[in-house]
Amino acid sequence: MTETPLISVIIPTHNRASLLSRAIDSVLEQTWDNIEIVVVDDASDDKTPDLLGELMEKYSHIRIIKNDASKGAAVCRNIAIKHSKGEYITGLDDDDYWRPTRMERLMKEFEEGFSAICSYDRMVMDDREAVWKKPTMITLDDLLYYNRVGNQVLTKKEYLEKVGGYDEELPSAQDYDLWIRLVLEFGPIRTVTQALQVVNMEEDRERITTSDKKMEGYLQCFQKHEKWMSRKHKKYQKYRLKMAAGEHVSWIDLLRSVPPGLYVKEITRKLFL
């Protein structure tokens, strides 16, 4: 019997067989030796079912749940959480992948008083790569400006169950919303200051304009948590919503709405995105 806690890795997927294989391989290569992988196949009609069938026959700690009809990522993640057996849970998008020591490093730094733990991310874009360096401790104040965590954390299953998992009513920003609720209930999120996850931004990087679905999700998330926000939070959130909607934002708007600590970030976005 291993003395290390079981970590459940949840992976929702839909029609990304080639990328999914890379993601799962990166979990199988982890130095943490007590892991189960729970994949929810959201009604894929490519080679994904064949790939998952082969992996399940080969590895006893991979479990597959298949939806008869597509239900979306938030529903898939909640299904995976429900079926997970681990004391700890973390997620992985099917087009991203991990460095081999990610789970070991996150578990080493996780402790009581924190709701979750994340790491720096290496963001891979069409023509360049960059490391997203996050605050070492991400507080509620930090999160009420914008999602400073990213798309994945490691946390306890009981924490996810207590806050109700992912909000399936939001059309987007479900991860951002969940991080806020975790921090409200269980404390700040800690960051390991190494790039332990590689995030594929080639088809989905942040742009000045955003799809209607994403815009609606961001707006609903803002409205859901507006009661916690200060005047400064609200001004910055509304500024970001205008930017995402493709509305004209002047330099005066930037200076009036953006906290000084975020000037460089927003000037860069305005100039280059």
What CATH number is attached to the domain comprising 170?
3.90.550.10
Residue of 173, 152, 177 whose CA lies nearest to 27: 152
The answer on 96 and 46 residing in a single domain is yes
What pLDDT is stored for residue 271 in this prediction?
Answer: 82
Query: Among the three residues 165, 200, 235, which one is the final residue of a domain in this structure?
Result: 200
pLDDT at 23: 97
Examine the domain organization and report whether 157 and 51 are in the same domain. Answer: yes
Same domain? 159 vs 236: no
Q: Are residues 140 and 231 in the same domain?
A: no
Distances (CA, A) of 8 to 18, 79, 253, 269: 22, 13, 44, 36
| 223 falls within a domain | yes
Judged by DSSP in three states, 65 sits in strand
Band of the pLDDT at 205, cuts 50, 70, 90?
very low
Inform me whether the pLDDT recorded for 206 exceeds 50.
no
Does 224 fall in a domain? Answer: yes
- Could you tell me the pLDDT band of residue 201, with boundaries at 50, 70 and 90? confident
pTM of the shown model: 0.93
pLDDT over 80 at 3, yes or no:
no
104 and 236 together in one domain: no
211: pLDDT strictly greater than 70: no
- Compute the Cα dihedral for 186, 190, 195, 199 and give only its sign: positive
**Same-domain status, 122 and 11:** yes
Is residue 128, in this structure, part of any structural domain at all? yes
- Please check whether residues 131 and 49 belong to one and the same domain: yes
Would you say residue 205 lies in a domain?
no
Residue-number span of the structural domain to which 267 is assigned:
212-272
112 and 246 both lie in a single domain: no
130 located within any domain: yes
Query: What is the model's pLDDT at position 157?
Result: 98
Sequence-ordered list of residues with C-beta below 8 angstroms from that of 202, at least 6 positions apart, any chain: 124, 125, 126
Mean confidence (pLDDT) of the chain: 93
Co-location of 222 and 137 in the same domain: no
76 and 39 co-located in one domain: yes
- Smallest Cα–Cα separation from 261: which of 147, 91, 142? 142
Same domain, 124 and 245: no
Residue 227: enclosing H or E segment and its boundaries?
none
- Say what the pLDDT of residue 209 is: 39
Question: Per residue in 69-119, pLDDT tens?
Answer: 999 999 999 999 999 999 999 999 999 999 999 999 999 999 999 999 999
Average pLDDT over residues 131-147: 97
Q: How confident is the model at residue 273 (pLDDT cuts 50, 70, 90)?
A: low
Structural domain includes residue 1:
no
In a domain, 2, yes or no: no
Q: Point out the domain boundary residue: 146, 173, 200.
A: 200
Does 142 reside within a domain? yes
Confidence of residue 1 (pLDDT cuts 50, 70, 90): very low
Asked whether the beta carbons of 32 and 103 are under 8 A apart, the reply is: yes
Confidence category of residue 161, pLDDT binned at 50, 70, 90: very high
Q: What is the mean pLDDT of residues 226-240?
A: 96
* Residue 210: φ, ψ to 5°: -135, 150
Considering the domain architecture, whether residues 26 and 99 belong to the same structural domain is answered as yes
pLDDT digits (tens, 9 = 90+) for 9-42: 999 999 999 899 999 999 999 999 999 999 999 9
Count of domains in the chain?
Answer: 2
